[in-house]
């Protein structure tokens, strides 16, 4: 009897050590970045997404109710503010119309090739994942809806991030605050180029910034379109702080406010080859 | 007398409760809360459940189940594959090895124990993720996540304890 107990204990210990080794094996496998790991991930995410879709609804309903109450309380002040803003915007509209007409004429004279038209896919955010380690979100649209890897994700007109993984009916967005996110940007006014790199902080940092002229808080940062990943001119954020340690950018999009996002297909292949293209290339070989 | 089929199925279903609850906590963990700043420091709910069941019912949530839950957590939350699997496996292993000590003591001692084990787990996860993605993750966010996890433990432990009393007293 005693021997059996000892044997069983040994088996337990062996199984435990085996699982620890297996976990390290998985880490190495993931590091090697095989297609297999991504496929497995995507398959599981696809299976979980419908559950998350249901789970995420109560939270958004509560958030909506709270928002409604707050809006009611501030209705008067909000109305005044909106009236003032409307006046300002109407002025801008006039300016924009004039510029648009002027632009059209000038483009016609120059034979300018316009950017390709874009297609939109709107999807619900069903998962906000990762805690301190990963800044990503799951959305309820996948390859069957036309989502492809590397596409830009917007909320309104503001950049949220890009598509990192695509399943059948779910996809993962890599937020621009994630440590793996690198986005080519320019300062809107001075056209100084930089790379916006996340570090899992709420405010990503500008890297490789051409220093002159100096930046100041409040400067708008937009995508530059370099590398072909995103089209140029998408709003990203404003400069929040300029310190010795670098320039931090406050994104326009707040992660907690996202309920619906728009995945945009600009027809650009981007730095990440899309699945379709990879397949085509493979077929061509 | 041999228990009837219904009886056995009932017990079997009750025995799935710890796993099911931990799975639920995992899903709740990745649900968007719409609370400002919360997502970046969301507490590790599955870790609390793994710790709790390792003390009270290690037979119903053994090491391999902790491993599977960790793996699932990795997949859903997007952390490098294997990190949470290893972390939760170790949490289960260390806690169940000390369960006699925790069982014989008050809740505050268990809470303190969770604080210690979660500190080790967070540090390990931080080191592994930093190593695997070739970049240093700000320790501050991990620290906040850890503090939130520890301070929310009593709430989750209370829910789990109620469930245990309700569904697993005889099973």
Task: Please spell the DSSP secondary structure of A98-128, one letter per residue.
Answer: HHHHHHHHHHHHHTPPPPPP-EEEEEEEEEE
Q: Which residue has the tokens 């006014």?
A: A189
**A8 contacts in B (CB within 8 Å)?**
none
Chain B interface test: which of A23, A49, A199 (most B C-beta within 10 Å): A23
Q: Do A256 and B34 touch (CB under 8 A)?
A: yes
Q: What is the pLDDT of residues A66-118, one digit of tens each?
A: 888 888 888 888 888 999 999 999 999 888 999 988 888 888 888 777 666 67
Helix (H, G, I), strand (E, B) or coil at A188: coil
Mean pLDDT score, B77-82: 87
Under-70 pLDDT residues of chain A: 1, 114-117, 130, 211-212, 229, 267-285
Q: What is the pTM of this model?
A: 0.81
Per-residue pLDDT, B41: 79
B83-114 pLDDT, tens digit each:
999 999 999 999 999 888 988 888 999 999 99
Contact across the interface for B86 and A179, Cβ inside 8 Å: no
Cα B65 from Cα A83, distance rounded (Å)? 59
Nearest by CB: B36 against A132, A199, A254: A254
- SS3 of B84, please? helix
How many Å lie between the alpha carbon of A269 and the closest alpha carbon of chain B? 24
B143: phi then psi, degrees, rounded to nearest 5: -65, -45
Are the Cβ atoms of B137 and A29 closer than 8 angstroms? Answer: no
CA distance B36 to A202: 11
Specify the pLDDT at position A227. Answer: 74
Domain limits, chain B: 5-167
pLDDT at B2: 66
Task: Tell me whether residues B145 and A132 touch, CB distance under 8 A.
Answer: yes
Specify the CATH number for B5-167; select among 3.30.450, 1.20.58, 1.10.10, 1.10.1760: 1.10.1760
CB A255 within 8 A of CB A177: yes
User: Which pLDDT does position B112 carry in this prediction?
Assistant: 93
Contact A60 B93 (CB under 8 A): no
pLDDT, position A116: 62
Cβ distance of B81 and A30 shorter than 8 Å: yes
Residue in A closest to B81 by C-alpha? A27
CB–CB contact A20 B89 (8 Å): yes
Three-class SS of residue B19? helix
Q: How many residue pairs from chains A and B have C-beta atoms closer than 8 A?
A: 161
Of A51 and B137, more confident: A51
Q: What is the pLDDT of residue B171?
A: 62
Distance of residue B109 Cα from the nearest chain A Cα, in angstroms: 26
Tens digit of each residue's pLDDT (9 = 90 or more) over A186-209: 888 888 888 998 888 888 888 888
d(CA B23, CA B17): 10
pLDDT of A267: 64
């Amino acid at each position: 009897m005693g021997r059996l107990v000892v044997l069983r204990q040994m088996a337990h210990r062996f199984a435990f050590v085996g699982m620890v080794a297996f976990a390290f094996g998985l880490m190495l496998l993931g590091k090697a970045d095989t297609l297999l790991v991504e496929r497995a991930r995507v398959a599981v995410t696809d299976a979980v997404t419908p559950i998350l879709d249901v789970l995420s609804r109560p939270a958004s309903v509560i958030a909506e109710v709270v928002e409604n109450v707050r809006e009611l309380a501030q209705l008067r002040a909000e109305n005044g503010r909106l009236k003032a803003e409307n006046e300002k915007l109407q002025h801008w509209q006039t300016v924009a119309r004039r510029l648009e007409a002027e632009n059209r004429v000038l483009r016609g004279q120059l034979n300018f090739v316009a950017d390709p038209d874009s297609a939109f896919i709107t999807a619900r955010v069903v998962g906000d994942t990762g805690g301190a380690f990963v800044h990503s979100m799951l959305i309820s649209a996948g390859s069957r809806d036309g989502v492809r890897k590397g596409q830009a994700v917007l909320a309104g007109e503001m950049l949220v991030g890009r598509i990192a993984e695509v399943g059948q009916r779910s996809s993962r967005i890599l937020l621009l605050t994630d440590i793996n996110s690198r986005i080519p940007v320019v300062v809107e006014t001075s056209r100084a180029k930089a790379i916006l790199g996340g570090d899992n902080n709420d405010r990503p940092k500008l890297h490789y910034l051409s220093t002159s002229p100096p930046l100041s808080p409040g400067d708008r940062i937009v995508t530059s379109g370099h590398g072909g990943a995103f089209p140029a001119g998408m709003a990203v954020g404003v400069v929040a702080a300029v310190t010795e340690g670098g320039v931090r950018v406050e994104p326009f999009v707040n992660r907690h406010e996202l309920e619906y996002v728009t995945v945009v297909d600009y027809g650009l292949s981007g730095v990440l080859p899309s699945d379709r293209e990879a397949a085509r290339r493979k077929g061509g070989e | 007398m041999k228990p009837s089929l219904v009886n056995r199925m009932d017990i079997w279903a009750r025995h799935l409760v710890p796993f099911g609850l931990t799975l639920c906590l995992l899903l709740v963990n990745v649900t968007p809360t719409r609370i400002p700043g919360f997502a970046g420091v969301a507490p590790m709910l599955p870790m609390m459940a793994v710790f709790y069941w390792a003390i009270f019912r290690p037979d119903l949530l053994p090491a391999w189940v902790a491993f599977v839950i960790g793996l699932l957590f990795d997949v859903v939350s997007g952390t490098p594959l294997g990190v949470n699997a290893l972390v939760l496996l170790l949490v289960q292993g260390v806690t169940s090895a000390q369960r006699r000590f925790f069982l014989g003591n008050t809740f505050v001692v268990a809470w303190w124990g969770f604080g210690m084990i979660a500190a080790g787990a967070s540090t390990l996860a931080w080191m592994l993720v930093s190593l695997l993605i070739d970049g240093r993750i700000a320790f501050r966010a991990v620290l906040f996540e850890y503090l939130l996890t520890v301070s929310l433990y009593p709430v989750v432990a209370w829910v789990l304890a109620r469930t245990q009393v309700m569904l697993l007293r005889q099973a």
